[in-house]
A and B are shown apart, each in its own frame.
Chain A
């Protein structure tokens, strides 16, 4: 299927990132990523998975590479889901840390507006991370409602 033309613009403000993987028996696993970034060519997404919480997901990704990522803005529930197969897995580099911290802080700020306790929210582990990159093969609208699940083509819901 076709995928969105401008992935970075589509992801703007979607600071809550959840990643699903599965094992050989098709048992899914899920975890919250510290951050996600679109590649410069707009075709790939890199998700940053905290080392502390991603053992099962990493094992799944190394075993079969199947990944689904849901990205959402907590205040508005605007949500999209991207799917694909992993190309590379490796330790996130120190020069990526500032951007990961910035994106994680954007999530913190948003959920603190909702009223969650900031002292607890800011304790969320965000580093060190594994950097997992995949080519976006499928993109779906996921904002709650009857359009949820519709494919996104060329930056809009088809």
Chain B
């Protein structure tokens, strides 16, 4: 038995599938690719068992196995002598490995079909690099990543992000500044914050960084994909080498469809954000045990997120969650609304048609989807109050007191819903704006004419 397993975390990220040789009692060897292998502790690894197969039967009969893994950066190969110990099906290790597989499966419409049967734990009896696998490198061929990560970066990042959270005067500036800080200090170019809408059990993108301003308003159901899985479980999840994982999952899907079992497959859902993301890290935003939302990071680099990022960003995610929660509280100085007469004429300005479907509180503008759910209901209330009563200014307080909006009595996330509404208007309909006047009060500004129409069904 070895004393301590050396760190092979890059080899275990699944970018290059490892392989596993076993042997039946009749002496027939077998070799297969490993979809997932991960380190359990200093002396054990776990391999994923997704289908009952020859490997499983061989391990039950003869526990000796040899695994080969490859470092995706240096392409060096390592060989591990293994002895199968046990299969786990209801342990934290199993849950963690199953989550990774679930997340990949739901991206490819394979949820429930492509799933982990057990985490097979093996003792590592020996480990050694495969000498001679690579020919000696010419000096210019060196491809090791420069060591840019370190304690100083961590401390600087923590300090900067904490500072941004503490100095934020409102929720919108917090959401914007935090993602910018993650880019500045840690180089995470693509990130988004999604907040939980308790009522619809969806996560709504409230702020994004590195997607050219797009993505705000995008929704993910709880338990759907990587982000939804993180929300459902409250556990961070890191995927690397996503292309190879997705290819693997699609290969499975292909064999099921070829076998005539495709009817039960759902349509594949697109990954949010980068179309060519190679790695993703998603972390829950928790205040005590209450889920606020999810912080999601993406990169085109398959090795962008390492284990220490996950641990470290959890600390930051906690602070972000507390900051969001603090700034989502109703302010004490929310004033009563003022009724104002209609303003000046808006002749020669654009004419917009807003269409509202009460069945799902969905609003379209000029035939294009704008927003739905509670923010859709709020927008419709504001537009009608403007048309019917000539209102121009509104307070958060009156929205909170309006039972027809269906806001929960506590933790109503009204501020985040208004930010989402404001951003969607900026994107789809910039001549209709929600402009903050003071804390807890905002104005509805309209540059042109608007028509309102309500339809029973979509």
Contacts and interface: CB of A to CB of B under 8 A. Distances in A.
A15 to B, nearest CB: 14
Interface string B59-74: 0001011111000111
Contacts of A140: 54
A125 B76 CA distance: 11
A120 B255 contact: no
> Which of B22, B23, B65, B130: most chain A CB closer than 10 A?
B23
Contacts of B134: 120, 123-125
A26 B27 contact: yes
Interface stretch (A3-11, A37-45, A94-102, A142-150): A142-150
Given A123-B75, A123-B134, A145 B31 contact: no
B77 A68 contact: no
B213 interface: no
Contacts of B64: 25-28
B141 A18 contact: no
Given A77-B251, A125-B132, A146-B259, A26 B62 contact: yes
Interface string A110-150: 01001111011101110000000000000011111111110
B143 A76 contact: no
Interface string B1-36: 000000000000001100111110101111111010
Interface residues of A, number: 51
A116 B16 contact: yes
Contacts of A79: 33
Interface string B255-286: 11011000000000000000000100000000
A81 B68 CA distance: 17
Contact of A78 (B28, B244, B251, B259): B251
Given A121-B75, A124-B133, A26 B243 contact: no
B143 A119 contact: yes
B174 to A, nearest CB: 35
A149 B75 contact: no
A125 B141 contact: no
B33 A72 contact: yes
B265 to A, nearest CB: 12
B369 interface: no
B252 A125 contact: no
Given A50-B132, A114-B244, A145-B51, A28 B254 contact: no
Nearest to B253: A145
A12 interface: no
B248 A77 contact: yes
B83 to A, nearest CB: 10
Given A68-B29, A114-B243, A117-B143, A147 B132 contact: no
A146 B53 CA distance: 9
A28 B21 contact: yes
Contact of A149 (B54, B72, B243): B54
Contact of B143 (A64, A120, A144): A120
A157 to B, nearest CB: 9
B302 A115 contact: yes
B133 A28 contact: no
Contact of B51 (A22, A50, A146): A146
Nearest to B16: A116
B247 interface: yes
B75 A124 contact: yes
Contacts, number: 166
A115 B134 CA distance: 18
A121 B75 CA distance: 6
A142 B30 CA distance: 11
Contacts of A26: 23, 25, 27, 62, 64
B23 A28 contact: yes
A22 B26 CA distance: 11
B53 A147 contact: no
Contacts of A88: none
B135 interface: yes
Contacts of A22: 21, 23, 27, 29
B247 A75 contact: yes
Given A120-B73, A124-B75, A53 B21 contact: no
Contacts of A114: 243-244
Contacts of B51: 144-146, 148-149
B137 interface: yes
B247 A76 contact: yes
Contacts of A68: 21, 28-31
B422 interface: no
A76 to B, nearest CB: 6
B79 interface: yes
15 contacts: A26-B23, A28-B30, A30-B21, A30-B66, A31-B68, A53-B133, A68-B31, A76-B247, A79-B33, A115-B243, A120-B143, A123-B137, A141-B255, A142-B32, A146-B259
Interface of B: 15-16, 19-23, 25, 27-33, 35, 50-51, 53-54, 62, 64-68, 72-75, 77, 79, 81, 130-137, 141, 143, 243-244, 247-248, 251-256, 258-259, 278, 302
Given A145-B252, A148-B51, A149-B54, 17 more contacts: A18-B31, A20-B29, A22-B27, A26-B62, A27-B64, A28-B29, A28-B65, A31-B130, A52-B131, A53-B130, A68-B31, A119-B141, A124-B134, A140-B54, A145-B251, A145-B256, A146-B252
Interface of A: 18-22, 25-32, 50, 52-53, 64, 66-70, 72, 75-79, 81, 83, 111, 114-117, 119-121, 123-125, 140-149
